[in-house]
Amino acid sequence: MTLANTTILKRMRRTDGPMRTEDSRISNLRDSLRSIPERAEKLADCGLIRGKNWSLAQICEHLALSIENTVRGSIADGVPRRWQCLSRVRRLIRWCLKNLILLTGYFPKGAPAPNSVQPPDGVPLDEALDRLRAATEAFDRKHAAGDASWGYHSLLGRMNGRAWRRFHRIHAAHHFSFMR
C-alpha cells in the first residue's frame, strides 16, 4: 500500500466515527443506499481488497444478495412457517435483537450468513460492485415508490422499508469494518 493510500485510509477511519452510528460510517443520505457501493469503491481505491474472512468482492456480493432478497421479498407470501412455530419468548428475543441493531447500530460479530446470501469464491470485484449498485438502485426505487411489500428477515422478522434501509446500512458498515 502506498503512502497516499495509507493517508486516505487514515482520513476515512478518522471521519467515519464509531460503528454504532451507521450514518457516519456510510453517509448522511437519508433516503438512499447508493452510499454503500460508493464506500466499497473507496475501499478498493485504497487497495483494501482483503478482509478478515472475505474479500471485498465477496462482501459486495453478499451485500448485493442481501439487498436483492429484501427487494424480492413480499408480505403477500405470508408469515414464514418457521416464524409461526416460534414461542412468544423466542419472538420477544428476536424483537429485542432487531431493536438493538436498529436503534444502536450495533451488529453482532460472528453470526453465520444464511446459505441464500453466501458469496461464492472468485467473484471479480467489478462484477460484484456492479451487482451491488444494481441492488441498491432497485431498493431505492422500491422504497421511493412507497411499496409496502417488504419481506421477513430470517432472524429479525418483519420490517418496513425504513427499517430495512437502516439495517442494510448497518450491515454494510459491519462488513466494511473488517477491511484492512
pLDDT per residue as tens digits for the range 159-180: 888 899 999 999 999 999 888 6
- Whether 14 has a pLDDT exceeding 60, the answer reads no
- Whether 24 has a pLDDT exceeding 80, the answer reads no
Classify residue 55 by its DSSP letter: B
Question: pLDDT digits over 28-78, tens only?
Answer: 445 578 889 999 989 888 887 777 788 899 999 999 999 998 888 754 455
**Phi, psi at 152, each rounded to 5°:** -95, 145
CB 20 within 8 Å of CB 106:
yes
Q: How far is C-alpha 34 from the chain's CA centre?
A: 12
